[in-house]
């Protein structure tokens, strides 16, 4: 791309093209892997609390299913659009292949502002959306999970709607469910825990002692709050945090557990005692050993990448760094742990949950954590070795590893008819 783009689908295709070039992928395989297999756009009419019906727009995209059923979250956000969902579905394909689990990539979303909807409206929206996408989802076809502004309760509504329509309980239709409904222990913290395991390995490669290292976390949702908590438990010094209202900074460090309590009590991190308010851009450019972008896409761009002063960037969010920013960070010697590796702990434990649902046999939390650590540690070294082989950064190394695995599966299966 000659000019920086913030269109996620164009960014995803650019990343694919780079890996395809490094792998000398044939034009036939490029034609298959670069495009999404299935795209569904639905209208979701919902009875509103104040009367009347509002029709929301929703999406479910399946990028590739060569290695197994599609897998990917559902997000509720006012800026959800088709290109975003297509990009996220494509990244899910590569993410599942990077950590070598037998899934393809899918993603879904509804364009709405969940903060303005009541619990009843959210339930009705979720159930109608489920009924609209039901023809293409299922435990052997496409398995949704939580994403931005959706959670275990959302998944419970989806599972119940699907099951009531089928006439029997189908636990494996979604992951990220409440534990009493077939969810897995450890799933709620899996994205952050997986990110921590990858950060530990990256610190070894960079010669950084995690104990005493400075860390900055952008975004304080599920992934960001737990990432901060786990880094603090490993005795890193968390000096800055942020949420949608703004950022907070303390040179001496912030206790994430206290920050979680403060936000729960006040609705925001801003104003937490012992901290000073900073802007999002100030937070991203703080001098630190570890920066964890755990918010939304396109946070690190050509406009601010030169100002970043982190040694490691661990992408707990999807797509936080643009290709132009990647190039700048690589030149600066910053180690970027790409999203398809760094936040793959969530889909990995989703896979564990699906396996448990299919078998009807459930693991304890220590077993989940042990297998997750082994999987994420091995995946880091697979990506690192791929990057060394191709003499590229870790994102391109991860993409080469993933695209090669999916391309091999596609070649072995052949083309029907």
Give the CATH number of the domain where residue 130 resides.
Answer: 3.40.50.10860
Closest CA to 318 of 332, 297, 341, 300: 297
What average pLDDT does the structure give for the chain? 96
Both 240 and 337 in one domain: the answer is yes
Contact 354, 143 (CB under 8 A): yes
pLDDT of residue 79: 94
Greater confidence, 5 or 402?
Answer: 402
What CA–CA distance (Å, rounded) separates 126 from 256? 32
Q: What is the mean pLDDT of residues 309-327?
A: 96
Measured on CA atoms in the order 219, 86, 48, 180, is the torsion positive or negative?
A: negative
The answer for residues whose C-beta is within 8 angstroms of residue 342's C-beta and 6 or more apart is 194, 195, 198, 199, 314, 315, 316
Both 268 and 315 in one domain: the answer is yes
Q: What is the mean pLDDT of residues 21-38?
A: 96
Q: What is the mean pLDDT of residues 192-202?
A: 98
Beta bridge partners of 107: 61
Both 248 and 336 in one domain: the answer is yes
What CA–CA distance (Å, rounded) separates 2 from 4? 7
Both 315 and 228 in one domain: the answer is yes
Both 164 and 210 in one domain: the answer is no
Say what percent of the chain tops pLDDT 70. Answer: 99
pLDDT of residue 344: 97
Summarised one tens digit per residue, pLDDT across range 220-264 is 999 999 999 999 999 999 999 999 899 999 999 999 999 999 999
Summarised one tens digit per residue, pLDDT across range 337-370 is 999 999 999 999 999 999 999 999 999 999 999 9
Both 163 and 197 in one domain: the answer is no
Q: Tell me: pLDDT of 395 over 60.
A: yes
What CA–CA distance (Å, rounded) separates 351 from 336? 25
| Residues of the domain holding 241 | 190-342
Residue 3: which pLDDT band, with cuts at 50, 70 and 90?
low
Greater confidence, 280 or 111?
Answer: 111
Q: What is the mean pLDDT of residues 272-288?
A: 95
- Residue 253, by phi and psi: left (phi above 0), alpha (psi -120 to 50) or beta? left
Both 128 and 211 in one domain: the answer is no
Residue 2: which pLDDT band, with cuts at 50, 70 and 90?
very low
End-of-domain residue from the set 342, 365, 386: 342
pLDDT of residue 298: 92
Residue 289 lies in a domain: yes
pLDDT of residue 265: 96
Both 200 and 338 in one domain: the answer is yes
Residue 22 lies in a domain: no
What CATH number is attached to the domain comprising 314?
Answer: 3.40.50.720
Residue 99 lies in a domain: yes
Q: How far is CA 147 from CA 16, 80, 199, 370, 384, in A?
A: 23, 12, 22, 24, 27
Both 159 and 194 in one domain: the answer is no
Closest CA to 247 of 295, 176, 191: 295
End-of-domain residue from the set 169, 204, 238: 169
Both 199 and 331 in one domain: the answer is yes
Q: What is the mean pLDDT of residues 173-181?
A: 97
End-of-domain residue from the set 294, 323, 342: 342
H runs (alpha helix) in 171-221: 190-206
Pairing of strands 246-249, 276-278: antiparallel
Largest CA distance in the chain: 65
Residue 5 lies in a domain: no
Residue 1: which pLDDT band, with cuts at 50, 70 and 90?
very low
Both 211 and 333 in one domain: the answer is yes
Structural domains counted in the chain: 2
Residue 367 lies in a domain: no
Q: Tell me: pLDDT of 152 over 80.
A: yes
What CA–CA distance (Å, rounded) separates 127 from 135? 14
The answer for residues whose C-beta is within 8 angstroms of residue 290's C-beta and 6 or more apart is 199, 203, 208, 213, 214, 215, 216, 231, 236, 310, 311, 312, 314
Residue 18 lies in a domain: no
Residue 59 lies in a domain: yes
What CA–CA distance (Å, rounded) separates 202 from 377? 10
pLDDT of residue 4: 76
Strand, coil or helix: 249: strand
Q: How many CB atoms lie within 10 A of CB 53?
A: 8
Residue 247 lies in a domain: yes
Q: Tell me: pLDDT of 20 over 90.
A: yes
DSSP letter for each residue of 96-156 = HHHTT-S-EEEEEEEES-GGGS-HHHHHHHHHHHHHHHGGG-BTTTEEEEE-TT--HHHHH
Which residues have a catalytic role annotated? 107
Beta bridge partners of 110: 58, 76
Q: How far is CA 84 from CA 75, 123, 176, in A?
A: 11, 24, 22
Helix and strand counts by DSSP (H, E) for the chain:
14, 12
Both 153 and 195 in one domain: the answer is no
């Amino acid at each position: 791309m000659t000019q920086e783009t913030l269109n996620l689908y164009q960014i995803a295709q650019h990343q694919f093209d780079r890996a395809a070039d490094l792998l000398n992928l044939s034009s036939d395989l490029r034609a298959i892997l670069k495009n999404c297999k299935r795209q569904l756009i639905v209208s979701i009419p919902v009875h509103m609390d104040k009367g009347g019906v509002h029709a929301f727009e929703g999406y479910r995209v399946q990028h590739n299913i060569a290695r197994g059923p599609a897998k990917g979250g559902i997000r509720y956000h006012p800026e959800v659009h088709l290109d975003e969902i297509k990009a996220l579905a494509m990244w899910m394909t590569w993410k599942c292949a990077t950590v070598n689990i037998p899934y393809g990539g899918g993603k879904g979303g509804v364009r709405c502002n969940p903060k303005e909807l009541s619990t009843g409206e959210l339930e009705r929206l979720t159930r109608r959306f489920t009924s609209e996408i039901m023809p293409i989802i299922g435990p052997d076809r496409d398995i949704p999970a939580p994403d931005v502004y959706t959670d275990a309760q959302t998944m419970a509504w989806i599972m119940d709607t699907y099951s009531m329509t089928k006439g029997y309980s189908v636990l494996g239709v979604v992951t990220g469910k409440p534990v009493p409904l077939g969810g897995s222990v450890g799933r709620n913290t899996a994205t952050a825990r997986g990110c921590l395991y990858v950060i530990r390995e990256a610190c070894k490669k960079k010669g950084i002692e995690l104990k005493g290292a400075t860390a900055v976390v952008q975004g304080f949702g599920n992934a960001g709050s737990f990432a901060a908590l786990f880094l603090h438990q490993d005795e890193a010094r968390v000096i800055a945090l942020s949420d949608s209202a703004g950022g907070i900074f303390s040179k001496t460090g912030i206790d994430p557990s206290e920050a979680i309590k403060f936000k729960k009590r006040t609705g925001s991190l801003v104003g937490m005692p012992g901290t000073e308010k900073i802007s999002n851009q100030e937070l991203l450019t703080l001098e630190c050993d570890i920066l964890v972008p755990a918010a939304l896409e396109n946070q690190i761009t050509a406009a601010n990448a030169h100002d970043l002063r982190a040694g490691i960037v661990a992408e707990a969010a999807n797509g936080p760094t643009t290709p132009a920013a990647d190039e700048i960070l690589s030149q600066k010697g910053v180690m970027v742990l790409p999203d398809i590796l760094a936040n793959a702990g969530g889909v990995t434990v989703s896979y564990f949950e699906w396996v448990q649902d299919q078998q009807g046999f459930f693991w304890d939390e220590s077993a989940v954590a042990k297998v997750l650590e082994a999987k994420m540690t091995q995946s880091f070294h697979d990506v690192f070795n791929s990057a060394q082989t191709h003499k590229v950064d870790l994102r391109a190394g991860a993409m080469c590893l993933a695209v090669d695995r999916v391309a091999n599966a596609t070649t072995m299966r052949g083309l029907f008819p």
